[in-house]
Amino acid sequence: MRAMSLRRALPACAALLVGLAAVAWLAAGGAVASPSHRLPALDGYTSSAMLDHTATPRSAPDSAVLQGLPFSGVPIRLRLFIDHGGTVVDARVLQSAEDAAVAEAVRRMFLATAYIPGRLHGQDVDSYQDVEIALGASGGDTP
């Protein structure tokens, strides 16, 4: 048996490394675009991208609690952690150009919103999802 030349071996090694990197990337959930979708599980919560049915609000968040607050109009991104009973147990501000008090009011608004839980394989599950809302510069617009 003849030894493979270096010129012939390099492409095979490169293909193997690319294949292994792709497997690692896919295992980390990297096949989808949104940041929440790249993380298949976080703090025991399943990404909404992995669910058969994502968690949905039972009704619109109560934006009346935001009336009179000064908004810049720049979107606010939050990550909601919703348990298998539909309760938002945590809301983390991921990105906000707003004053800390305004961002906290938006966070509390989502904490008070009831959800229909996400479902996976016919079971209600703990899940998380990222939401982005833009409120008008006058404040209190419906998210």
CATH of residue 40: 3.30.1150
Are residues 109 and 39 both part of a single domain?
A: yes
Are residues 94 and 47 both part of a single domain?
A: yes
Are residues 103 and 92 both part of a single domain?
A: yes
**pLDDT of 89 strictly over 90:** yes
Quote the DSSP letter at residue 87. Answer: B
Give residue 41's pLDDT band: very low, low, confident or very high (50, 70, 90): low
Work out the average pLDDT over 111-132.
96
| Residue numbers of the domain that contains 13 | 1-31
Are residues 17 and 58 both part of a single domain?
A: no
Are residues 42 and 112 both part of a single domain?
A: yes
Are residues 50 and 115 both part of a single domain?
A: yes
Are residues 26 and 40 both part of a single domain?
A: no
Are residues 67 and 102 both part of a single domain?
A: yes
Domain count, the chain: 2
Tell whether 55 is covered by a domain: yes
Tell whether 142 is covered by a domain: no
State pTM to two decimals. 0.67
Q: What is the DSSP string of 27-79?
A: HTTTTSSSGGGG-SEETTEEEGGG-SB--EESS---GGGGTT----S--EEEE
* Beta-carbon count within 10 A of 2 CB: 4
Q: What amino acid is encoded at 21 in this protein?
A: A
Are residues 118 and 68 both part of a single domain?
A: yes
Tell whether 139 is covered by a domain: no
Give residue 45's pLDDT band: very low, low, confident or very high (50, 70, 90): very high
Tell whether 141 is covered by a domain: no
